[in-house]
Amino acid sequence: MGWRVAILSSIAILSTLLLCYSCSPPGNSKLHIQGETMGTYYSIRCISKEHNAEALKKSIDSLLTVVNASMSTYEPNSNISLINKAEVSPERSTWIKIDPHMNRVFRAAKHLHQLSNKHFDPTIMPLVNAYGFGYTEKGATLPDEAAIDSLLQLIDFDSFVLRTRTDTTYICKTTPHTQLDFSAIAKGYGVDQICEFLYNKGIKNYLVDIGGELRAKGKNHKSQIWSVGIDTPSDTLKQRQLHTALRLDDRGIATSGNYRNFYVRDGVKYAHTIDPFSGKPASNRLLSASIVAYNCMIADALATACMVMGVEKAIQFVEENQQLEAYFIYSDEKGNLSTYQTPSLEIISQ
C-alpha cells in the first residue's frame, strides 16, 4: 500500500491469543476479516449475527485506502507528500489543504510530541532516510557527524503550523526541507478508525490488529475478554516466542522494539528507531516497549517515544502519566532479560 514496509514491520507483532473457556453467546457468529494495508497485514475478529464478512471487508478496505491516501509518503499526491514537497521562502509560505484524517493525526501528534518531551517526533524522516530505513537501501551509506548535525536542523515539528478557515484546515511549514513521517502513529490511527466503523455498525465485540498494533472491545466468541501476547524480544530466534499475555478491553496496545528491523555494518548494529536528539539510532537497554492507552493511536506513538527514552526515563514517564499502562522488557546490568509493568496491567501468563 505504499508504506515503508521495513519500518512498519519492525514493530513487534503481538500474538492474538484466543484464550476463552465458556460457550458462545446464542445467536452470534464469529467473523474473521483479513487484508493488507500500510505495507503490512490487518486482521479483524468480531462477533455479529447481522453482518457479512465480505461486505464488512469491502467497506474497511475503502476506509483504509482513504487513510493511506492521506498519510502515505509513497503516494505522490497524498496530503503528507504535498506538505513535504511544499516550498518555503522568506517571501511566501505555502498552505496545503488537508483532509480530516490528516487533521486529526496532526493535532494528536502535536499533543503527543509535547507530552513525551519531544521523544516522539514526526519530523525524524530525513534522518530515517539517511540511515537507510526510508527510501534508501539499508546500510548503503551512513551519515558522518557533519551530515548528522546538518540533518538535526530539520528535526523541528514546531515549524509546522495548522490554520482553520471557514471549516477548512491548512498546514504550512516555516523551515525549508523539513518533512513529516507519521509511520509511528498512522497504524494505530488506522486501528482506531476500523474500531469506530465497527462500533457504528452496531458491533460491540471486536479485536482489530494492523501489523501488531491492536485494540479490543467486549468479548470474543466464547464470552472471554480478548487476550493478546507480547513477543520475546530477540534478533536471533528463528521463530517468534511468546513472552507474556494480557487481557485487553476497550483499550489499544502497541509494541515497539529494535530487534526486527536493523542491519549490521562493520560489526555495529543499526536499528530503525532514531533518537531525534542525537540524530543516531537509539541505543539503550530497553528492548521492547508495550504501551496500553485509551486508543491505539496514542499507544502507537508513545511506544516509539519510550524506546527512544530508554528504561529509566520510560518508567518515569509512564508513572507520571497514570492514564497509561506499560510493559517493558529490558536488559539488566548482567545482560539478562528483566521486565517492568504498571500495577494495573492484567497479566495472564509470564
* pLDDT (0 to 100) of residue 238: 59
pTM: 0.88
Cell 476497550 identifies what position?
250
pLDDT of residue 134: 67
Domain boundaries defined on the chain? 76-173
Q: How much is the pLDDT for 89? A: 81
| Mean pLDDT, the chain cut into blocks of 10 residues (350 residues total) | 37 37 49 94 95 96 97 90 89 89 97 98 91 64 90 95 91 92 96 98 97 95 92 68 90 86 62 87 89 98 97 97 96 88 85
Q: Find, among 251, 258, 256, 342, the residue nearest to 302 by Cα.
A: 256
CA distance 253 to 235: 22
Q: What is the pLDDT of residue 37?
A: 95
pLDDT of residue 266: 63
CA distance 122 to 300: 12
The predicted pLDDT at position 90 comes to: 76
Per-residue pLDDT, 289: 95
Domain 76-173 CATH (choose: 2.30.30.280, 2.40.280.10, 1.10.3980.10, 3.30.70.141): 1.10.3980.10
Q: HEC states along the chain?
A: CCCCHHHHHHCCCCCEECCCCCCCCCCCCEEEEEEEECCEEEEEEEECCCCCHHHHHHHHHHHHHHHHHHHCCCCCCCHHHHHHHCCECCCCECCEECCHHHHHHHHHHHHHHHHCCCCCCCCCHHHHHHCCCCCCCCCCCCCCHHHHHHHHCCCCHHHEEEEEECCEEEEEECCCCCCCCCCCCHHHHHHHHHHHHHHHCCCCCEEEEECCEEEEECECCCCCECEEEEECCCCCCCCCCEEEEEECCCEEEEEEECCCCEEEECCEEEECCECCCCCCECCCCEEEEEEEECCHHHHHHHHHHHHHHCHHHHHHHHHHCCCCEEEEEEECCCCCEEEEECCCCCEEEC
The residue type of 55 is A
Write down the pLDDT at residue 346.
Answer: 86
**Cα–Cα distance for residue pair 304/220, rounded to 1 Å:** 29
